[in-house]
């Protein structure tokens, strides 16, 4: 059986819209809402929310086999306001360990808890070349020295508080999405690219009049970047869980942007041997370009479920993402490969 085709325009349109929705962990509600609205057009799916705020979509079919599940996350790296400085600028507390050098001079939105969202940018506190000269490049990029300059008239803590900004307010870094020549360049392709993979797979199958072979739960997780997203939300009747998350591209890695990858082992140890072999066999049967790889600094939502006591076979697949947790980039070939792999899995028994 051949796989239904994917509409690349739809894929890119959905992904770009999702990338442009700010959704740091803890503030991912708007991205969950957006995915929920998109999935609500498929009447095959029964949608619900966990108390934690994740979205669960169930595609129920008649089958004697136990259900399977797939998960992807829409939360991203980000920050919250840690302190308002006496000069009116903000110190931040990072969410998910974004590296300061990757966001220096980046535009941000500060979502003021008592007011409007306010524009600003991340700077080192020795930013002006004409004031600090060479010393500016020697200042350590750390929590102490990085600050947000607000595009509002404030030079004091009092004036900044008057803007409605409070300690703990969400700060989102600009994604800077660009689509060129089959490449998609943006922050937070991790894991919004894989969210697009799942939505595109559902759409292609639904439009082709196809259903999965077994009932499927899709868990759209909202706390992955802090390590416990999918620790809950997957029913105990589920026998297999495929985590769809980015593959690691860089020196020493097998993964690339033009393939999908099956991760055999990451920081949390090896995945499930039997399910890995099933995923490999499906990729080979459907001529899906894939790699196997080992990720040195990586944990997945599937492992969060395992750690929480989830009793499933577990695998991890995803498209190669260059410069992950930095200024990321993907290619349509890897994204299509991953979407095809998801469909091949859903259509298998």
Give me the least distance between CB of 246 and Zn ion, in Å please.
6
Give me the least distance between CB of 155 and Zn ion, in Å please.
39
Residue 301 binds Zn ion (CB under 5 A): no
Give me the least distance between CB of 47 and Zn ion, in Å please.
22
Q: What contacts 267, CB < 8 A, 6 or more positions away?
A: 295, 296, 297, 298, 299
Range in contact with Zn ion (rule: CB under 5 A) among 172-180, 181-189, 231-239, 240-248: 240-248
Q: Which is nearer to Zn ion, 110 or 316 (CB)?
A: 316
Give me the least distance between CB of 298 and Zn ion, in Å please.
9
Total residues binding Zn ion (CB under 5 A): 3
Give me the least distance between CB of 243 and Zn ion, in Å please.
9
The answer to whether 80 touches 168, Cβ cutoff 8 Å, is: yes
CA distance 241 to 23: 24
Q: Residue written as tokens 């920050």?
A: 79
The answer to whether 179 touches 14, Cβ cutoff 8 Å, is: no
Phi, psi of 342 (to 5 degrees): -60, -45
Q: Which is nearer to Zn ion, 136 or 299 (CB)?
A: 299
Give me the least distance between CB of 187 and Zn ion, in Å please.
12
Q: Which is nearer to Zn ion, 72 or 84 (CB)?
A: 72
| Triad 51, 53, 58: Cα angle to 5° | 85
Give me the least distance between CB of 120 and Zn ion, in Å please.
26
Q: Which is nearer to Zn ion, 191 or 328 (CB)?
A: 191
Residues 94-153 contacting Zn ion, CB under 5 A: none
Q: Which is nearer to Zn ion, 191 or 257 (CB)?
A: 191
Q: Which residue is nearest to Zn ion (CB)?
A: 191
Look at strands 45-49 and 55-59 and give their pairing: antiparallel
Q: Residue written as tokens 């939360």?
A: 75
Is 147 an annotated catalytic residue?
no
327, exposed or middle or buried, with CB in 10 Å at 0-12, 13-18, 19+? middle
Supply the DSSP symbol for 76: B
Residues 169-208 contacting Zn ion, CB under 5 A: 190-191
CA distance 271 to 338: 18
Is the N-terminal amide bond of 253 cis, ω within 30° of 0?
Answer: no
Supply the DSSP symbol for 314: E
Q: Residue written as tokens 């086999």?
A: 65
The answer to whether 86 touches 157, Cβ cutoff 8 Å, is: yes
Q: Which is nearer to Zn ion, 67 or 175 (CB)?
A: 175
Range in contact with Zn ion (rule: CB under 5 A) among 63-71, 174-182, 238-246, 325-333: 238-246
Range in contact with Zn ion (rule: CB under 5 A) among 237-245, 249-257, 269-277, 318-326: 237-245
Range in contact with Zn ion (rule: CB under 5 A) among 4-12, 154-162, 243-251, 339-347: 243-251
CA distance 250 to 266: 15
Among 106, 245, 293, 328, binds Zn ion (CB under 5 A): 245
CA distance 93 to 298: 21
Q: Which is nearer to Zn ion, 245 or 333 (CB)?
A: 245
Crossing angle for the helix pair 332-346 and 189-207, to the nearest 10 degrees: 50
Q: Lay out the site mask for Zn ion across 21-60 (x = CB under 5 A, - = otherwise).
A: ----------------------------------------
CA distance 109 to 30: 14
Catalytic hit among 106, 224, 303, 328: 224
For the annotated catalytic residues, the residue numbers are 224
Chain contacts with Zn ion (rule: CB under 5 A): 190-191, 245
């Amino acid at each position: 059986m051949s796989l239904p085709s994917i509409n690349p325009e739809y894929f890119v349109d959905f992904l770009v819209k999702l990338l442009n929705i700010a959704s740091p962990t803890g503030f991912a509600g708007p991205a969950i809402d957006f995915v929920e609205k998109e999935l609500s057009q498929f009447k095959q799916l029964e949608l619900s929310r966990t108390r934690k705020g994740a979205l669960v979509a169930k595609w129920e079919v008649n089958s004697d086999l136990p259900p399977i599940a797939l998960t992807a996350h829409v939360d991203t790296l980000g920050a919250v306001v840690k302190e308002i400085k006496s000069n009116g600028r903000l110190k931040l507390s990072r969410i998910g360990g974004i590296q300061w050098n990757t966001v220096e001079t980046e535009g941000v939105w500060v979502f003021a808890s008592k007011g409007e969202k306010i524009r600003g940018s991340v700077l080192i506190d020795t930013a002006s070349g004409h004031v600090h000269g060479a010393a500016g490049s020697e200042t350590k990029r750390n929590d102490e020295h990085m600050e947000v300059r607000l595009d509002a008239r404030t030079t004091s803590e009092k004036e900044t508080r008057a803007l409605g900004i409070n300690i703990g307010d969400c700060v989102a870094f600009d994604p800077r999405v660009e689509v060129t020549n089959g490449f998609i360049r943006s922050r937070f392709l991790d894991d919004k690219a894989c969210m697009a993979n799942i939505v595109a797979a559902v759409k292609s199958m639904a439009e082709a009049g196809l259903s999965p072979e077994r009932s499927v739960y899709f868990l759209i997780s909202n706390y992955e970047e802090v390590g416990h997203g999918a620790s809950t939300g997957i029913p105990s009747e589920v026998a297999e869980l495929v985590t769809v998350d980015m593959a690691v591209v860089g020196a020493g890695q097998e993964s690339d942007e033009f393939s999908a990858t099956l991760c055999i082992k990451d920081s949390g140890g090896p995945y499930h041997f039997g399910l890995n072999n099933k995923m490999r066999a499906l990729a080979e049967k459907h001529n899906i370009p894939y790699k196997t790889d080992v990720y040195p600094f990586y944990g997945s939502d599937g492992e969060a479920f395992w750690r929480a006591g989830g009793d499933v076979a577990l695998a991890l697949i995803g498209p190669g993402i260059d410069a992950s947790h930095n200024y990321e980039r993907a290619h349509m070939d890897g994204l299509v490969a991953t979407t095809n792999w998801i469909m091949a899995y859903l259509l298998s028994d």
